[in-house]
Amino acid sequence: MYKRQTLDTTKYEVSVTYEGQDVAEVTRDLTVKEQVKKQAFQLIKISEDGEQTETDLVAGAGFKVYLISDLTQVKNGKLKPANGESYTASDFKNYDFSKEQVAVTYENGTAVPVPELITDTKGYAVSPELPYGSYVVVESTTPENLKTIDPFVVNVENDSREPMQWRVFDDRPFEFLLKIVKKDAQTGNTVLKAGASYKIYDVTNKKYVEQVVQYPKKEKISVFETNEEGYLITPQELKCSTYRIEEVKAPEGFVRQGSEESLYDGTTIISPLEQTTKGTYKENPQSGIVITVSSNTAHQIDPDTGAAIVEVEQKNDEQVGSLLLTKKGEQLTEVTGDSVLAKVKALVSKVRNAVSGKEETGIYITLKMAETLAENYVKMRAYNYIDATIYNIPWYLIYSFTGFPLYHMIIKKNTTLYRHLTQLGFVLKDSKIKGHVYVENNEGYLLTATNYRYVVDENDNLNEWLDFSIIRPDATVTDTLLYVPVERFSVSVDSYHFGNLINYQSWRTRQNLLDIAKRYMKP
């Protein structure tokens, strides 16, 4: 008797009679049918709440059963027991069962595939009686918002009509790390700076999320901050629920979500880049992010930890503004319209030539860029230049700067700079800022102001120009600090622009400009 078969206790009668002198050996055939040891197993599916506390019996979980010796990688020798002896559950943790055949049982001598075992409302599922052998059981259908359990091994070694009892307690709820990525609403690019802060409100449980961090010291936090790469990941996992992401603080140079304003003409929103004398500024707060997360929500798996990561993007408007200058007669006499964003903090959003009314630099200057220009202006003592006056300071801010990287610079369409970049074959992609594009090329090109010129004509009118060059690294030398010019052009300077800007009737604009001046241009 083999160890996989049951002992046959049946007594068989065999009649052996004399068959004559010519038969040297009398034989009789007797068929004895051995019974293979077999036994079913029964499991109870239980979930937990993540705190090692049993909660509910789980219905609708499905399990498939595979005979280990029949698995493809077992038969061809690619998968061997990790312990060198017999297979354990851990050997099959990452095994691909998608192309494997399920185990079989026997009914009246016919092999029948073992069906998927589905737990009932009490969390129970019972297999058919399985022949002697070692089987791996895999959760094939996982109820929503629960994690799939690891495979487990069932060894059928005894012959019994009582199923083996298996208690599956490891069905933990689906949990995830929340990743918030800060984006520029105009360009769609990630804001590569730290400083954005968020609170996460659990709508379902009506409370703010609090988590414990270990570094630099162990403490409980409820405000989560982005890093210098413009994103944050919660230090601990969150459970499936509905969450509202509330921005507490925006990065420098951006408007905090919920504090946005727009210029309205009645009920119509006017673009901040549109030249108009109409409109009134009103609050126009953007909705916060609300996300409902389940196990079916699109997510990534961290290759190092195996944690699920759900990513959301939070977009902010840059703090920018525009100023409309109206020329009447031979000189500028009036500034009309209330066309400055209430939250403007940029020194210049666009530099217009109020004399000709046509030319601009084409450079879209953000708050951060404006502050850099102001800081550099002071550092280089550009105010000591003999030609520097209160009227041309905005132009001298640009002139005293070493160079603007063209990569991802936002350029206004149909300007001198735009036309020259187009002629040079730069890739210019549409920006989310109306009437603007951004430079896609990334080969170290710089835009630099190279010369400041002026002429007083016969009528004592001052005519000023700023010369620009587009330069790139010299490919013939290894020193990347050496550049060669590829294009030159000039832009007319508006001598009235700065005076009108600081004396503009809106106190908000004046104060923001003076704040920047105070910060960087102390006497």
Give one DSSP letter per residue of 239-297, joined into a string: ESSEEEEEEEEPPTTBPPTT--EEEEETTEEEPTTS--S--EEEE-PPPPEEEE--TTS
Tell me which residue range forms the domain holding 412: 326-520
From the list 60, 43, 58, the residue with the least C-alpha distance to 140 is: 60
Q: Does residue 21 fall inside a structural domain? A: no
Q: Does residue 33 fall inside a structural domain? A: no
Residues 147, 45: Cα–Cα separation, whole Å: 13
Structural domain count of the chain: 3
| Same domain as 387, residue 282 | no
Q: Does residue 68 fall inside a structural domain? A: yes
Region for residue 460 given its phi and psi (left: phi exceeds 0; alpha: psi -120 to 50; beta: otherwise)? left
- pLDDT computed for residue 104 by the predictor: 94
Q: Does residue 252 fall inside a structural domain? A: yes
Q: Does residue 202 fall inside a structural domain? A: yes
Complete edge-to-edge strand list for the sheet that includes strand 428-430: 410-412, 436-439, 428-430
Burial class (CB in 10 A: 0-12, 13-18, 19+), 186: buried
Q: Does residue 469 fall inside a structural domain? A: yes
| Same domain as 409, residue 434 | yes
| Same domain as 362, residue 434 | yes
| Same domain as 124, residue 55 | yes
Q: What is the CATH number of the domain that holds 226?
A: 2.60.40
Q: Which helix (H) or strand (E) holds 500?
A: helix 497-502
Strand 175-184, strand 308-316: pairing: parallel
Q: Which two tokens stand for residue 186?
A: 């105009």
| Same domain as 491, residue 412 | yes
| Same domain as 369, residue 248 | no
**Among 120, 143, 171, residue at a domain's last position:** 171
| Same domain as 388, residue 310 | no
From the list 424, 418, 455, 451, the residue with the least C-alpha distance to 437 is: 418
Contacts of 111 (CB under 8 A, 6+ apart): 104, 105
| Same domain as 186, residue 139 | no
| Same domain as 311, residue 330 | no
Per-residue pLDDT of the chain (523 residues; tens, 9 = 90+): 445 555 556 676 767 677 777 777 767 776 656 677 889 999 887 776 555 445 567 888 899 999 999 999 999 999 999 888 889 988 998 899 999 999 999 888 789 999 999 998 888 899 999 999 999 999 999 888 787 888 999 999 888 888 888 766 555 677 889 999 988 876 778 888 888 899 999 999 999 999 988 877 888 999 999 988 889 999 998 988 899 998 888 887 777 777 766 777 778 877 655 656 667 767 777 777 899 988 778 888 777 777 888 999 888 766 554 444 444 444 433 434 333 333 333 323 333 222 233 466 788 777 677 777 777 777 777 666 666 666 666 666 777 777 888 888 888 888 888 888 988 889 999 888 888 898 988 778 888 888 777 777 777 777 778 888 888 887 776 655 678 888 888 887 766 655 555 555 454 545 655 666 667 665 4
Q: What is the DSSP code (8-state) at residue 198?
A: E
**Among 149, 171, 193, residue at a domain's last position:** 171
**Among 123, 152, 171, residue at a domain's last position:** 171
Which amino acid is located at 412 in the chain?
Answer: K
Q: What is the DSSP string of 361-401?
A: --B---HHHHHHHHHHHHHTTGGGSTT--TTSHHHHHHHTS
From the list 358, 362, 370, the residue with the least C-alpha distance to 470 is: 362
Note the pTM of the prediction, 2 decimals.
Answer: 0.42
| Same domain as 438, residue 482 | yes
| Same domain as 287, residue 337 | no
Q: Does residue 27 fall inside a structural domain? A: no
Q: What is the CATH number of the domain that holds 130?
A: 2.60.40.10
- pLDDT computed for residue 414 by the predictor: 84
| Same domain as 487, residue 367 | yes
Q: Does residue 244 fall inside a structural domain? A: yes
Which amino acid is located at 288 in the chain?
Answer: G
